[in-house]
Amino acid sequence: MTKTSTPRTPSTIENLLFGTTIDRVPSLIPGVALAALVVVAAVLIADAINEALGLDGLVSFILIAIVLGMLIRNTIGLSDVFTPGISFCLKKLLRLGIILLGIRLSIVDVLEIGGFGIPIVIGAVATGLVVATVATRRLGLSERLGTLIAVGTAICGATAIVATAPGIRAKEEEVTYAIANITVFGIGAMLLYPFLGNVIFGGDVVQVGLFLGTSIHETAQVAGAGLIYDQTFNVTASPSAADIAIVSKLVRNVLMIVVIPAVTYVYVRRQHDPEALGRGTRIIDMVPTFIIGFLIMAVIRSIGDAGVESNGSAFGIWDADAWDDLVHGIRTAAEYFLAMAMAAVGLGTSFAQLRGLGLKPFGVGIAAAIAVGAASIVLVFLFAPLISV
């Protein structure tokens, strides 16, 4: 009898860079290549449409990449050979893109946007938790499923759901339903909110960015919505709507440290059964490492700019023109990495899998999504004027 060897667990470095062992890296190539081809096709299609209409940037290639990915997945279909690479784009390339976007902002801008965005984030998160909890009880769903939908809508999508599940002993089916739920509404918001935000906030980039970052579920969806807005409405200012959206979303992500333990505790108390408490996720696992990377890039930008202003060179290496070229190159790379992640969002969205969601979870999801969006709009109008970036 042939003995099957157990696959080796990735080392810390391998997991950080690839999400798998080095010998499995070739398996990523088909999915990554497909995502890249979708982005290239999206750029060509968007350019052709914009040229035909005579309007530069009216159609965003990010939007085209998402829609094209969905069409491929749900018409032609995808072989399993593409799955590892698509997952790599959704996880690793997305995080790398967000880290590199930090070069677009000074650390002062990051702290100001994040600091003044905290009340908006807290208000939107609290609204999502309360509305999802009430809707769960009214519709007679399980407390566990309602709790997962609540944290997924209010904080950080699938990441928050997966982090909460062990603590409340959620079933695999409940986790799947909750993730499918926030996927439906998150993708809908990603495609609609850039245009809705422009109408509601009259093209104010700061307000639109805060709205996108505090109302859309997943980090990937927030990044996509911000880039769609910037491309569609030709935003060249810095910080852009995407910059502000991502900073405010990162603040939401950090709130997992507080909200998930609190939600788990409330769930256990409502069950009146201490044994209902499962094995929780470690606090350190709730802090996305790309937040740290984003801040480091903002610090690098600040130090480089200060060097150019004081002695004409960044870090004693690049003169003003060379530094500008380097920053521009990093910004462009970040946008294309995020574009590949957005293509992967489309390629990973199966309508057939989402059809089994059911009406009651759908009801909880739409109630929470609408409530979070409405709360975000009100709070942005109240607090955004305080931000002077």
Burial class (CB in 10 A: 0-12, 13-18, 19+), 60: buried
**What value does the mean pLDDT take over residues 230-253?**
89
Q: Look at residue 57 in the predicted model and tell me its pLDDT.
A: 65
Give the start-to-end residue ranges of the domains of the chain.
27-386
How many angstroms separate the Cα of 197 from the Cα of each of 39, 194, 215, 239, 376? 25, 5, 11, 17, 11
Lowest pLDDT segment from 7-11, 83-87, 98-102: 7-11
Kindly report the number of other CB atoms within 10 A of residue 237's CB atom: 11
129 vs 166 pLDDT, higher one: 129
| Closest C-alpha among 115, 184, 131 to residue 370 | 131
Q: pLDDT digits over 346-376, tens only?
A: 898 887 766 655 677 788 888 888 999 999 9
Q: Look at residue 1 in the predicted model and tell me its pLDDT.
A: 45
Please, how many CA atoms are within 13 Å of residue 184, restricted to the half-sphere of its CB?
23
First to last CA, the chain: 68
Residue 49, token pair as written in the block:
């449409």
Find residue 346's DSSP bridge partners. none
Q: Cβ neighbours of residue 264 under 8 Å, at least 6 residues apart?
A: 164, 167, 168, 277, 280
Q: Cβ neighbours of residue 304 under 8 Å, at least 6 residues apart?
A: 314, 315, 318, 323, 327
Taking the C-alpha atoms of residue 28 and residue 21, their distance in angstroms, rounded to an integer, is: 11
CB of 101 closer than 8 Å to CB of 113: no
**What value does the mean pLDDT take over residues 78-105?**
90
> Confidence class of residue 194 from pLDDT cuts 50, 70 and 90?
very high
Mean pLDDT of the chain: 85
28 vs 11 pLDDT, higher one: 28
DSSP string, 163-228: HHGGGGT--HHHHHHHHHHHHHHHHHHHHHHHHHHHHHTTT-HHHHHHHHHHH-SSHHHHHHHHHH
Q: Look at residue 358 in the predicted model and tell me its pLDDT.
A: 65
